[in-house]
Amino acid sequence: MKLSTRTRYGIRALLELAENTGDSPLQIKVIGKKQDISIKYLEQLMSILKGGGFVRSLCGSKGGYLLAKEAKDIKLIDVFNCLEGPFVTVECLADKSLCSRTSDCVTRKVWFKVQKAVNEVLESMSLQDLVEQAKEQRELNYQI
């Protein structure tokens, strides 16, 4: 059970945008180079993120991407849902009718707990939190 590259790349790209203070947009190729992500692949991910309302784009020369809302308003759970689909450990959690033994299935309750634990972590974190952590980290590295 592993995370796909979509969410990982996506969040790293968003982080780049969040750290790109100033008015001028950031280009996919700049992000891709800095984060070592295939440009063409990142293109697709950015398109998904745009659909999710996390970023906005400017076409043409001098174009690129910008965050569509403030970093503090971008929760990681929402980005995850957008790029990876909702984290459901088993289908019957989303749709009870899928399994006849649902009503007294104890394993279902296990997966529910797992799912809840994951969602709570991602629900509690915003892109802004990551920006701040990254800043702290850099200061720490500088001191050394």
Residue ranges binding its own copies (CB under 8 A): 1-4, 8, 11-12, 15, 76, 84-85, 87-91, 103-104, 106-107, 109-111, 113-114, 117-118, 120-122, 125, 130, 133-134, 137-138, 141
Residue with smaller CB distance to DNA, 66 or 125? 66
The interface partner of residue 134, options being DNA, its own copies, none and the CB cut-off 5 to 8 Å by kind, is: its own copies
Q: What is the 3-state secondary structure (H, E, C) of the chain?
A: CCCCHHHHHHHHHHHHHHHCCCCCCECHHHHHHHHCCCHHHHHHHHHHHHHCCCEEEECCCCCEEEECCCHHHCEHHHHHHHHHCCCCCCHHHCCHHHCCCHHHCHHHHHHHHHHHHHHHHHHCCEHHHHHHHHHHHHHHHHHC
41 lies in the site for DNA, by CB under 7 A: yes
Residue with smaller CB distance to DNA, 46 or 76? 46
C-alpha separations of 6 from 25, 43, 72, 80 in Å: 22, 11, 21, 9
Residue with smaller CB distance to its own copies, 3 or 58? 3
Q: How far is the CB of 104 from its own copies (least distance, A)?
A: 4
Per-position x/- string for 42-81, each x denoting binding to DNA as judged by CB under 7 A, each - no binding: -xx-xx--x------xxxxxxxxx----------------
Name the residues that contact DNA, by CB under 7 A.
1, 4-6, 27-29, 37-41, 43-44, 46-47, 50, 57-65, 84
